[in-house]
Amino acid sequence: MSKTYRDLMLDMDGTFLDFEAAENNAFYTAMEKFGYTATEEDYQIYKKINQGYWEAHERGEISREALIIARFTSYFEQKGIDQDGAEFEEVYQELLGQGHELIKDAWEVLEYLKSKYRLFVVTNGVESTQRNRLHLSGIEKFMDDIFISGCIGVQKPQKEFFDYCFAHMENADPEHTIVIGDSLTSDIQGGMNAGIDTCWFNPKGKARPQTGAGSLAGREGFTDLEIGSLKELKDIL
Ligand SMILES: [Mg+2]
DSSP string across 202-228: -TT-PPPPSSSTTS-TT-TT--EEEES
Q: What pLDDT score was predicted for residue 47?
A: 96
pLDDT grade, residue 126 (50/70/90)? confident
Same domain, 65 and 123: no
For residue 167, the domain's CATH number is 3.40.50.1000
Q: Is residue 171 part of a domain?
A: yes
Q: Give CA 167 to chain center in angstroms.
A: 21
Residue 139: CB atoms within 10 Å: 23
Task: Please give the sequence-ordered ranges of beta strands (E in DSSP) within 81-176, or none if there are none.
Answer: 118-123, 145-148
Last residue in a domain, options 96, 116, 149: 96
| pLDDT band of 212, cuts 50, 70, 90 | low
pLDDT value at residue 221:
43
Q: Give percent above pLDDT 90 in the chain.
A: 81
- Centre of ligand 1 from the C-alpha of residue 139, in Å: 16
What pLDDT shows up at residue 224?
Answer: 75
Residue 125 has pLDDT above 90, yes or no: no
**pLDDT the model gives residue 2:** 52
Q: Helix, strand or coil for residue 103?
A: coil
Say if residues 126 and 95 touch (Cβ distance below 8 Å).
Answer: no
Query: Per-residue pLDDT for 19 more than 90?
Result: no
Please identify every residue annotated as catalytic: 11
On whether the CB atoms of residues 57 and 63 are closer than 8 A, the answer is: yes
CA of 226 to the centre of ligand 1 (A): 14
- 185 CA from centroid of ligand 1 (Å): 10
Residues 6+ apart with CB under 8 A from 143: 10, 119, 120, 121, 134
Give residue 87's pLDDT band: very low, low, confident or very high (50, 70, 90). very high
Summarize the confidence of residues 140-168 as an average pLDDT: 97
Number of folded domains in the chain?
A: 2
Q: Where a domain ends, among 96, 112, 130?
A: 96
Three-state DSSP state, 121? strand
- What is the pTM (predicted TM-score) of this model? 0.80
